[in-house]
Every structure is written in C-alpha cells, then in structure tokens.
Structure 1
Amino acid sequence: MKEKSLNVITAIARTIFGAVCIFSGFVKAIDPLGTAYKIEDYLNAFGGIFPNFTWIALPASIALSMFEFALGCSLLFNLKHKLTSWLAFIFMLFMTALTLYIALENPVSDCGCFGDAIVLDNWTTFYKNIVLLALAIWLVATQRYAKTWFVNWVEWTGMAFFCLVSIVISIVCLCHLPFMDFRPYKVGTDIEKSMEIPEGAPADEYHITFIYEKDGHQQEFTLENYPKDDSTWTFVDQKSVLVKQGYVPPIHDFSITDANFDDITYDVLDYEGYTILAIMYDLEKTNIKQAQRLNQLYTDAQQKGYMFYALTGSESTIVDEFVEQTGAEYPFCGTDPITLKTIVRANPGIVLLKDGVIVGKWNMRDVKNDKIFR
C-alpha cells in the first residue's frame, strides 16, 4: 500500500515537472531568436564574467530548449527515470540558485523562462523554481520505486527523437518566423490603439521627498510637511521613488524618427493605405543576400503606391556603409533596436501595415509579391 501511494505521488510529480519542462522548452523552441536575446541579456548582465560571449547565445538557445523539451517528454513517458530524475535535480539546483541571485540583484527585468508566452517577475520565478526543485528532489528520492515501461533501446530512441523534434522546430522557426506569436506586435494589432492609455487607468504612484538645508544641516521632508513658507530653509534636491506602477499599454516603446531626427511615428501610423516596414535592427548583422532583395520590393512598392520605410537601430555611419554596399534607395528611419527585435524575429523582416494595423509579417526569405501587394 505504501509503495502504491509513493508511485501515485511520484507519477503526479513526474507529470507536473514534465509538463512544465515541455511547455518551457516548446515556447523557447518556437522562438529561438527571442530566447537568444534573453541569453544575451544575461551575458551582458554578467559581462565581467563572460566577456565577448554573446556569440554563444543562439546555439545556447537551441540547446536549452532541446534539453528542457526532451527532459520534460522523457519524464512524462518515464524514459530513463534514474537519469532524468538526476538531470532534473541538477538543472533545478542551478536554476534556483541563479534565479535567487536575479531576484536579489535584478540584473534583468524577467527571467524569460516561459519566453513571451508567460512573463513572470523575478521573485515569482524563484518561488516557481523552489516548487520544481522540491518535485525534482522527490523524483530522486523515490527512484528505487520507479518501474521501467520500455526496453532500453526504446528509451534512448525516444529521448533522441524528442531532442530532434525540438531542434527541427527551432530551425524551422529560425529560418522563417515563430508559428505562434505571443508578442504585442502580432498580426491584427492596431499599433496606435495599443499605445493608448485608457481614460481612468491607474497612473504611476511616487513617494516624493524634498531635501532642504538650514545652518549647514540637511533634512528630508515629504510633500505634506516641507517648509514652503519658511525662507530660512534652502531647497537642495528632490527624490522620487516609484511606489506602485500604473497602467502600461501593450506597446509603449514604439517610435520612428527620420533622417532629420524628426518624429514621424504618427505620420506612419495614421497613413490611410498600405505601408511596408523593412525591419533591420542591426545592419551589421543583417543578411545581405536577403537585404538586396529589398531593392526590388521597394521598386514594386512605389509602383503599387505603397509607403516604404526601413527601420533600423544602427548609427548613420553604418547606414551609409549599408547603402553603399547594397545600393538601397529606400528611406532609412531610426527605431530602438530592442523594439525592432520584438516586432519581428528576422533581420531583415517585413511588416505590412494597413491604416496602422499589422496585416502581415514575414521573414524576408519568405516574401513574395502576391503576399505583399493586395
């Protein structure tokens, strides 16, 4: 009876841990570039320890999603129970320690454990990992009660198959676009409306402190008791601390500036008709072969009466070098590179707007005229 109860609890622990790993690995696998960007954030946050290691971000992204997905599937199907239990324990031991440090020091805004599908703050991530670590400890502690479901070669074949599935998903989504989009710039989004703050939405709340000086002594005051009518006090400084964050619109960091540094964001979004945005967040990393195809796309866009802008986060000198290299005649505008990475997971990528609404997104290698011109 005791062994039966232990087996039931172990099966539940295996299922929960496995399901979480499968979900985590899957959402990373379908967005390998997004996961790579998050790994770059980590590497930059620990820049003193890992200098010039950002090149490893993409391979690490694919490897991490493969490991999590295969581990989760193996646990769910009870493949190599002893091995997978220890792998789960070691993995969660490392991740729990890492997320504790992140929660305490806050070097990144969120851990990215579930990609853009579910964004957790750093402390919530740590508590989640505590639960998963407890499940992993249970799996290790109850190994002797585990029963094998399959013969040895089937178990190894199954694990290899799950690894292969994850890798194939990552490569397909890397060469094209993620087939599930959890970001705020998905097809169907009205960008301008997504930037609006609804009337009556909660605003940011701040605790404001005033620093005044009198007879060489400085003292802090609040908004309620600062000496506004006492001329013997001299104002020195003011400090504002965010106490409670107000409403943040889904899109809050989108802007476009032209070559003269004029803001043309609403000129683009309010245009009645079709607009093509060629997204190249970093021209030094742009696929030149695909970028050269933009010249013909720009010519076709002019003939069809479409507006056309290239958005980049690169400096003007880099833009000039790119224009000389590719013969580009289309206008370049500036947008924050992080925003561009969020808009489309390709470099170059194409976004088609109609009246400010996103009606299509493509990796440049998938662009065909019958998809763009309607």
Structure 2
Amino acid sequence: MENKHLHRAIFVWVSICRFLLAGVFIFSGFIKANDPYGTAYKIQDYLEAWGFQHLIPDAFPYLGAMAMGVFEFALGFYMLFGIHRRITPTLMLAVMSFMTPLTLWLAIANPISDCGCFGDAVKLTNWETFWKNIVLLIAAISVFKWRKTGIVKLVSEKVDWLVALYGVVFIIIYTLYCIRELPVFDFRPYHIGADIRKGMEIPEGEKPTTYETTFIYAKDGVEKEFTIDNFPSDTTWTFIDSKTRIKEKGYEPPIHDFSIMSQEDGTDLTDMILDDESYTFLLVAPHLRNADDSDIDLINEVYDYSLEHGYRFLCLTASSDEDIAMWQDNTGAEYPFALTDEITLKTIIRSNPGLVLLKKGVVINKWSNNQLPDEYILNKPLNQLPIGELNPKTASHKLIEVLGWFAGPLIFLTLCDLAWLRWHKRKTKKENANKKN
C-alpha cells in the first residue's frame, strides 16, 4: 500500500514538473519564433558582453535566433505530448544545466539588463531569471529521473510521428512568416494602437531617469561629440553616429528615448510629429547601408501619395550622412531624413526598412518591407481607407487565429493518417483472407 501511494505521489510530481517544463519551453520558443529579430538583437548583446562580436559572422545571431525558437518549442511540444520520452528529458536537463549557471553569472556580473528568455512579452530581472531556472532545473532533474514511468503519452504510437513532425514544421513556418512580415504579437511599446506621447509620460511624484543623447560628427578627419544643447551650426560637419546613455537612474516609462532630429539642420522634430493632427508616414531604416531596397518603387509611390494628400513623410535613420547620400543616389529618394537612436528604431519596427503610420502620436499601422501598401490600396485619402483606421483585432483574436491555424491542420492530418491506417489494415486483412481461400 505504501509503495502504491509513493508511486502515485511520484507520478503526480513528475506530471506537474513535466507540464511546467512543457509550458515554459513552448512559451519561450514561441515568443522567440514570434520575434526572431528581437532574439537576434539579444544574442548580439550577449556577444558584446563577452567580447565576441567581432569574431562571429554577422548572420550568426539571426540563424541562432531561429534555431533557439524552433528547438525550445519542439522540446516543450514533445514533452507536452510525451513524444521521444528518452531524448526529450535528457535534452531539457542539458539545457537547464547550462542555463542555470549562466544566469547566475548574469545576475552577479549584470552585463545586460535581462536575459531575454521571454523577449518583450515578460521582462524578468537577472535574479528573477536565475531563481526561475533553479525551479526548472529541479523539474528537469525529476522528469529525467522518472522519465520511463512518469511520462504518459497523450497520443498513440500510430500518430506520434505525425504530431512530432507537424510541431517542428509549424514553428519553422511561423518563424519564417514573422521574419518576412512582422511579429504577429507585438509586445513592444510601439505596437499598433500605442500612444507614443502617453508612453513617454512619468507618473506624478516619480523621478525620471535622465538620459543624454550625443551625436558624433566629423570635420577635417576629426571626430567630435555634440549634444542637443551644443549642436554644431556649421553645416560642414558630417554626421557619423549617435549614442544614448543613462546619466541618472530613475523611473523609466515604456518609451524613454524617442526623439527625432532633422538630418539637414539638427532641428528637434519630435513634438511637431507627435502633435500633428494629420497622418504622418515614417520610413524606419536603422542602417541604410544594409537596408533592403528591393521595393524602393513602392516606397517612392507612398511618398508621392503623401505629397498628393498633404501628409508628412519622413525617413528615420541612425545612418551617417555618407550612407544617407548613397541611399539617395541608389534609390532616387527625395523625401527628408531625420536622425533617431538606433535601438529605438529597431524597437519601433522589426524591418529595415519598415513603414509606420502615425496620427497625433498614435501608431495607426505598420508594414514590413515585404507588405508595403501599393497604388491599389492607396486609392483614396487615408481617412476613407481601412489602413487609416486602427485595426480592431485584439491580441485575443490573434491568439485564437494562431491556435486555429495550429490545431486545425494537425487534427485534419491526424484524422487522415488514422483513416489511412484503418484502410490499410482492412486491405491487409482482406488480402490475407483471400490467400487462405
């Protein structure tokens, strides 16, 4: 009797650990697949903290981000359904045995603000991440120890191969979709519907964090840093780069580094853009040298459309004057340029370039370089077009859609596979009967 109760207690404990691990790994992998570029930027932060950024190929963070999302989601998916009951717990234990001491080092050394385990969806401090990993490590050890008897399959042997394959194929396709288009779920402060002005506000009584943005300009081979207060009036200076640093830590609103400065004369355009009652198109291109110019004709068409209807159009970039001039020569760009912090631009939209539509500081719409509106869509003023209005689709609607796209084909393929197995079994039985006769 005691052994029976002990086995039952072990089974319940292993089941709790199993589903905890499955849930965390599925969520973590899905978040990385949802925002591969954000994961790649976090990998770049790690490489810089370790001093490896110049030793690793530029493509590594992006390939690594894709691989991490697929790997974590697949492990969680397999653990959830009880597929590959030997290798899955082993790999999970190996992952947690590596990540736990790594996050302890992050908590002590604090080279980056957060580990990025759950992207922008859930922000954890380094110490919170470490203690979270301690819990997951205990769970991984428990599941690994009793993996042979404690993990019960949720699918039959007949279809487990199909479920396993489908989970991997789905997350790969989802990752590629989010790379080509934009993240389906946008957890950043510049999501559609966000009021940038409100995102910059500080609650009454809170002391704000003080930032200082410096702009690096060059003249006669000499580089010099300037702030907004002592911006050079001499137009012979050439813009090189911009940097934002914390002067004094305090309350940080969701948006704390949004500023737009005219590339032509250094005028601060931030308030003018955010207070504009009409529509404003922002072409966001952190690095014009690496920007995709395959759809430049569509960008120029949007610019012509904005001129025709009296809308403001501005290209925000962190590129140098030389790169801006090169972009203008290569694309025939006639629109004005403005300077914004690189990290801010990468946060606004995960595309280089990408297009953002604002109205009085509210993000109305976003488009990646692969989904820019064309002349067939822009055939009326924006206030008469669906793209000029906020999309009523909520995160809940998107979640239901994603679950539908995931579960629908999986159920259909599973039923087809079971039907085929049943038909094959009947056929084999009939052939055997005929042979006996």
Category of TM-score, reference length = shorter chain: 0.7 to 0.9
Q: Which residue of 1 aligns with 2:16?
A: 12
**Amino acid aligned to 1:176:** E
What does the per-residue CA deviation read over 1:113-156, in whole Å, with 9 as the maximum and x for residues that have no partner?
00100011111111111110110011111123235535667434
Measure how far apart 1:49 and its partner are: 7.8
Q: Pick closer, same or farther for the CA change 1:153–1:37 going to 2, 3 Å.
A: farther
Q: Any residues of structure 2 matched to 1:289-300 within 5 Å, and which?
A: 289-300=294-305
Alignment partners' CA distance in 2, 1:323 and 1:202: 42
Alignment partners' CA distance in 1, 2:87 and 2:298: 49
What does the per-residue CA deviation read over 1:272-308, in whole Å, with 9 as the maximum and x for residues that have no partner?
2010000011112211112342112111110011100
**Amino acid aligned to 1:192:** R
Alignment partners' CA distance in 1, 2:197 and 2:142: 50
Q: Which residue of 1 aligns with 2:371?
A: 366
Q: Which residue of 2 aligns with 1:133?
A: 137
Report the 3-state secondary structure (helix = DSSP H, G, I; strand = E; otherwise coil) of the residue aligned with 1:289. Answer: coil
What does the per-residue CA deviation read over 1:200-240, in whole Å, with 9 as the maximum and x for residues that have no partner?
225569xxxxxxxxxxxxxxxxxxxxxxxxxxxxxxxxxxx
- Which of 283, 287, 291 is the matching residue for 2:292? 287
CA contact (8 A) 2:209 2:252 kept: no
Alignment of 1:41 with 2:50, yes or no, is no
CA contact (8 A) 1:40 1:54 kept: no
Worse overlay, 264-273 or 195-204: 195-204
Q: Which residue of 1 aligns with 2:352?
A: 347
Q: Percent identity?
A: 42
Q: Which residue of 1 aligns with 2:326?
A: 321
Alignment partners' CA distance in 2, 1:107 and 1:199: 31
- Which of 93, 96, 118 is the matching residue for 1:92? 96
- Which of 68, 73, 77 is the matching residue for 2:72? 68
- Which of 289, 302, 309 is the matching residue for 2:314? 309
Q: Unmatched 5+ residue regions in structure 1?
A: 206-240
**Amino acid aligned to 1:282:** H
CA contact (8 A) 2:316 2:339 kept: yes
Q: Any residues of structure 2 matched to 1:198-213 within 5 Å, and which?
A: 198-202=203-207
Alignment partners' CA distance in 2, 1:111 and 1:53: 22
Q: Which residue of 2 aligns with 1:123?
A: 127
Q: Pick closer, same or farther for the CA change 1:248–1:301 going to 2, 3 Å.
A: same
Q: Unmatched 5+ residue regions in structure 2?
A: 211-246, 384-437
Q: Which residue of 2 aligns with 1:247?
A: 251
Measure how far apart 1:65 and its partner are: 0.6
Measure how far apart 1:50 and its partner are: 6.5
CA contact (8 A) 1:291 1:348 kept: no
Alignment partners' CA distance in 1, 2:311 and 2:209: 40
Q: TM-score, normalised by structure 2?
A: 0.73
Measure how far apart 1:62 and its partner are: 1.0
Q: Which residue of 1 aligns with 2:337?
A: 332
Q: Which residue of 2 aligns with 1:59?
A: 63
Q: Any residues of structure 2 matched to 1:142-291 within 5 Å, and which?
A: 142-146=146-150, 149=153, 154-202=159-207, 246-259=250-263, 260-291=265-296
Q: TM-score, normalised by structure 1?
A: 0.85
Measure how far apart 1:316 and its partner are: 0.9
Measure how far apart 1:197 and its partner are: 1.5
Alignment partners' CA distance in 2, 1:24 and 1:39: 15
- Report how many residues are paired: 338
**Amino acid aligned to 1:146:** G
CA contact (8 A) 2:25 2:75 kept: yes
